[in-house]
Amino acid sequence: MNAKHRIVVLGAGYTGMMAAVRLARRTRRTGVRITLVNPSERFTERLRLHQTVAGQELTRHRIPELLAGTGVEFLQGRATAIDPEARRVSVEAVPPAGPVALSYDTLVYALGSRADTRGVPGAAEHAVTLEDPDAVRNFADRLPALARTGGAVTVCGGGLTGIEAAAELAETHPGLRVTLVSRGVPGAMMGEAARAHLDRDLDRLGVTVRAGATVTRVLAGAVELADGERLPSDLTLWTTGVRVPELAAASGIATDARGLVVVDAHLRSLSHPEVYAIGDAAAVRQAWGAVHGTCQSGLPTAQHAADEIARRLRGREPRPFRFGYFHQPVSIGRRDAVVQFTYPDDSPRRWYLRGAWAVRYKETVSGSPLTLYRLGRRVNVSATLSRGGRATRTTVAPLPVIAP
């Protein structure tokens, strides 16, 4: 193994952190240099952001502390450019470091996604997304006063994040009038029984669900729907739509129509094989279809990429990535939850959990990444709940590439 091999990991979310910790374990005592780059030194628990927006205080986790003992170097800063031909990343590091140029032999691209406010007028100006810590803190600080006066809060987006946020807001602040606006039926990906339980709980918490509604404009004090109706909204939370950073496409790395890095069966970029893309940043296909970005799928991609890099450095044969979905856990406040178990393609099975057992299950899932990081510093641990069985044994062609 080349002891001078340089590995740079961009992004310290769930997947980037997993990749860095596992790489350090798999390449220990070799002299391989690993650098993890992230704009903030605080590790964000995205699985718990619905709690922070309701004003709940969470434990603060610092990235350097999570990396302690691994040998991974942490650079706080934002990647501004990638030169894949020179194999160099430009980073605007926090003072006093300033601009930094990092050379790499292998790059792990783990810059995740965020809610997309670009398609609806007023959304960027008048709605808050969970990715903006300062805006979320301000949002949460205003809730107690609004609850005392019966203020209105609108959550736009009926996916699992929107459902969890609406439920958390209604339970934590019972005086609020919480409305969940969704183009489809919230929880539509679940089976009928699990979805019925979800509906009952949202109703119990007093959440008004406007299914089949499309938001066309967000105003300072209202949300406008496609039929012209305006819903009064003192605060609006935006959880719908997904956008990824443009860094990969702008750097000449092949991406798909959404800006995701197109990868082969081993999670390597089709245009630049020394670049691995993982989590929300990668366009990954399995025989059953395209993998969509969740922590459930992201952690296995990080684990596989780290293992592949270590395997190639040792001259061993690579192995294709195999993954199948296993569950859809959703919190409904702090006292209830529902967990829909799934087939590998994420379609619902017959079985589901609800109530106290589902709450315990969901809490275990939400805390499991941090447990994996801590254990992963000492032993090899698996983040993959399911490899999909027969459904993933066939190698498929990658998604179409948008030429850089």
> Directed axis angle between helix 14-26 and helix 295-313, to 10°?
30
Same domain for 374 and 271: yes
278 band by pLDDT with thresholds 50, 70 and 90: very high
pLDDT of 384 reads 79
In a domain, 87, yes or no: yes
In a domain, 146, yes or no: yes
Same domain for 151 and 105: no
pLDDT of 378 reads 80
Same domain for 308 and 207: no
Which tens digits make up the pLDDT trace of 331-385? 999 999 999 999 999 999 999 999 999 999 999 999 888 888 888 888 887 887 7
CA gap 283, 58 in Å, rounded:
32
Of 197, 226, 242, the residue that ends a domain is 242
- Quick check: 108 and 16 in contact, CB under 8 A? yes
Same domain for 124 and 91: no
In a domain, 17, yes or no: yes
- Quick check: 288 and 390 in contact, CB under 8 A? no
User: Of all residues in the chain, what percent carry a pLDDT higher than 90?
Assistant: 82
pLDDT of 390 reads 63
Task: For 135, list phi and psi in degrees, rounded to 5.
Answer: -65, -40
- Quick check: 131 and 161 in contact, CB under 8 A? no
Of 191, 214, 242, the residue that ends a domain is 242
Task: For 236, list phi and psi in degrees, rounded to 5.
Answer: -125, 130
Q: What is the residue range of 190's domain?
A: 116-242
Same domain for 321 and 251: yes
Counting the structural domains of the chain, the total is 2
Integer angstrom CA distances of residue 29 from 2, 151, 310: 12, 58, 12
Same domain for 295 and 382: yes
User: Cα 89 to the chain's mean position, in Å?
Assistant: 23
* Bridge pairing between strands 327-331 and 337-342: antiparallel
Same domain for 187 and 52: no
Half-sphere exposure of 155 (CA within 13 A, CB side): 30
The 3-state secondary structure of the chain, one letter per residue: CCCCCEEEEECCCHHHHHHHHHHHHHCCCCCCEEEEEECCCEECCHHHHHHHCCCCCCCCEEHHHHCCCCCCEEEEEEEEEEECCCCEEEEEECCCCCEEEEECCEEEECCCCEECCCCCCCHHHHCECCCCHHHHHHHHHHHHHHHHCCCEEEEECCCHHHHHHHHHHHHHCCCCEEEEEECCCCCCCCCHHHHHHHHHHHHHCCCEEEECCCEEEECCCEEEECCCCEEECCEEEECCCEECCCHHHHCCCCECCCCCEEECCCCEECCCCCEEECHHHEECEECCEECCCCHHHHHHHHHHHHHHHHHHHCCCCCCCCCCCCCEEEEECCCCCEEEEEECCCCCEEEEEEEHHHHHHHHHHHHHHHHHHHHHHCCCCCCCCCCCCHHHHCCCCCCCCCECC
**Can you give the CATH number for the domain in which 215 is found?**
3.50.50.60
Task: For 368, list phi and psi in degrees, rounded to 5.
Answer: -65, -35
As a whole number, mean pLDDT of residues 70-75 equals 96
* Bridge pairing between strands 106-109 and 275-277: parallel
CA gap 153, 221 in Å, rounded:
10
Whether 403 shows a pLDDT value over 50: the answer reads: no
* Bridge pairing between strands 285-286 and 152-156: unpaired
Same domain for 320 and 196: no
pLDDT of 387 reads 75
Which tens digits make up the pLDDT trace of 84-98? 999 999 999 998 888
Same domain for 144 and 103: no
In a domain, 137, yes or no: yes
Q: Of 3-12, 84-93, 140-149, 176-185, which range is least confident?
A: 3-12
- Quick check: 215 and 224 in contact, CB under 8 A? yes
pLDDT of 342 reads 96
Closest CA to 111 of 277, 310, 229: 277
User: Of all residues in the chain, what percent carry a pLDDT higher than 70?
Assistant: 96
